[in-house]
Structure 1
């Protein structure tokens, strides 16, 4: 049950992760599951950069002081998430002989082109696009809150998973649970209606898992210790990891969608704020940052 902890002031938290001893297959005996979750390090920084950019553009139009404060805290957390995962991408993957530069350079190029194109639009059209993106972010943030709750409650210790990578994903998941209501509140403030929000969530709940499968396939192809696999084989291996409980069950996506489309949907019903704050207080990376 979600324990009531009162209003939470969002703030970015300094963290320091040490991946120097983290093995590439950081969940022992589960190389495909390891790559599937590690794929988050590749795709999250760009998405979070986009979230921050859209919130930055929306912020001048928000007159509600409390919502503005939530947005600023959200932007700070998302920027730090992107930085932490980007650092993990370069430090962790390059140390194991995987060069992420080609895929990251291409994605960064596409992002920069999209932003440049947005800036060429008349102000009223630019504003409309930003509002559409805010609705999309609300859907994605529900998806990430569901995933964050799973990460917080997954028993990685029983799998003998690497502590540093476990901490990275749990820390991120905890903050996703903590700020799960912000994007929804912002989208509703800008008048996004439920049909649009549900449509965007449906897109994210289908697109993100397949995006992660594609990134896992790319990582496997770069991994010199693994046999080459086609996309179908990777999907079968991921299904096996799901059945073993190493990866989130597919039904989690269905439950997330079912909760999102309810007329009485409230983002606060996903996850437990007290649990999230409890983990953030004891995260080894946070303690390491404070001690340095």
Structure 2
């Protein structure tokens, strides 16, 4: 069989180009290298590749979890395919080791920042804009810190700046981690939301504990985690975002997946406005306040 490429680096380079990634240099030394994913902001370094042998390369994207094989011989060579599968398994283990190490380092940094931070000020611009209390947040300078927990330990922080810009700590755990507003003590049911401000709004309105998954695609993961850890008499209600102006409505799509995965009830906001950018229960609360004050 004729090979299309003479080197694995050229084969990988062409495959990455077809996905919008243009790398000037590719190193086939068995080490894992990072690059920017084309669908995220510059400097994200969410893509990775490794060339463990002269015949095989593996690449993927942290934020989507996808992973792809590249070989010199292509998929019709059974020997190359078998070798590629074995390499793929080895690379996956090595990648997970790197991921765990980086997440551990970020968790340590997050705990250090959290310990040295002060309680969040109620008059922080973001809290005033959202119309909620600070609850369990801390503040570092003019930046709010939202703690993400996994197994009882802070593993990441979401930083919220006065203008509303939000950033997670780089390399930190997100999927499988969450923040909470309120206490589980004596609770008969718990709400699961996407964002922290939505969680604060629902807690203030209901008095119930609310878990914030922080991202839409983390809702199904956290729904299963909560159901596994909570007592059976505690019901879980998914309070999904309604991203009606976003293609595919990710908030409602993942919310429904979360509800179906554990047989939970789901609710989502219906808005009195048609053209506004409202998408979650915090938006709904503020929209209704604005309409009432205008009357």
TM-score bracket for this pair, using the shorter chain length: under 0.3
Greater relative contact order, per chain length (Cα 8 Å cut-off, separation 6+): 1
TM-score w.r.t. length of structure 2: 0.25
TM-score w.r.t. length of structure 1: 0.26
Larger radius of gyration: 2
Determine which structure has the larger strand proportion and give its number.
Answer: 2
